[in-house]
Amino acid sequence: MPDMDLLLLSRWLTPVRDFLVPRVGAGARIGFIPTASSIYPDQAWLDLDRGSLRDQGFEVVDVDPELVSAATFTRALGEIDAVFVSGGNVFHLLGALRHAGADRALVDAVRRGLPYIGVSAGACVTGPDIAPLALLDDPAEAAPLTSTTGLELIDVTVVPHAEGTVGGRGRIDRTRQEFADHRLHFLRDDEALVISGGTTTVIAG
């Protein structure tokens, strides 16, 4: 836990440069995992995110566990300076990572010190359980899941777009009520979580 560095975002990528440059330097090579969005025909936000990262001075390369073998994915994690896990459907993301045999490789790399940047679904999947996201993402759209246990990199489940920008405020309020027995962190689009050295800090997003 003390060696991990995670930046968890709801929407905007503004904090990425200040998070990443002190850790891996300017011009770092970011492995971009687009998996959460692969079930959607419109993936315009992925191009926006790639463009934002490049505008911040980073090299961006896709690392897609749905398109390569587990061994190739694992090797790719060793050839990047940081990993970026995009938004989309968190249930599909988790199911696809497991189906590809990529979940453990990703967790192991992050626990060994590979900086992790997750936005929306990419933030949600890091927690102990993605079940509380069922009111925001449709589990029926996902790759088959036998368990909603997340990657367990952190001990809370991030609920993004906490001001209701995706799906409306009613879904956020229902999530708060129906999953009160879970440890939830409601993250607004203008916020980010930094987990580093065993400490969690909320910063402007």
- Tell me the catalytic residues: 120, 161
Candidates 86, 42, 50; CA nearest to 66 is: 86
What is each CA distance from 19 to 10, 92, 116, in whole angstroms? 15, 27, 10
Strands (E), the chain: 5-9, 29-33, 59-62, 82-85, 116-119, 157-159, 184-186, 191-196, 199-204
Which two three-digit tokens encode residue 130? 């993605």
Residues in the chain: 205
Q: What are phi and psi of 129, to 5 degrees?
A: -160, 130
| Six-digit token string for 38 | 């692969």
For residue 194, with 0-12 CB atoms within 10 Å meaning exposed, 13-18 middle and 19 or more buried, which class applies? middle
